[in-house]
Structure 1
């Protein structure tokens, strides 16, 4: 293995947009800013929202209902 080719592994302070800060180790030299951490991410906080796609399917069917009727009448 070659000597002195690996970056230095140092302590870095990570700051989240929610205000949470913690320290980790990284090859970065400057403080790190992130948008989402475990304290504010919906998966970890239990505030997940379920997206219902059933309404979208019905909207699609309603939109193309006229075209389906026209094509069956022509045949």
Structure 2
């Protein structure tokens, strides 16, 4: 059998996760660099699939642009 290839896997290190409600925890990931922070915009505490509540999440003003564009089509 041959040798395994060296240096092909991403680095695995600790990062901090910040949930939408401000809860923080440390985990290991290949994201970013050691000590980086990942701030979530959607997670299990805010996503309708887990909460059962429907909310429109406006990402970069897309909902506002849609409403402005189609404002005259209402009944």
Q: TM-score, normalised by structure 2?
A: 0.49
Larger radius of gyration: 1
Q: TM-score by structure 1 length?
A: 0.49
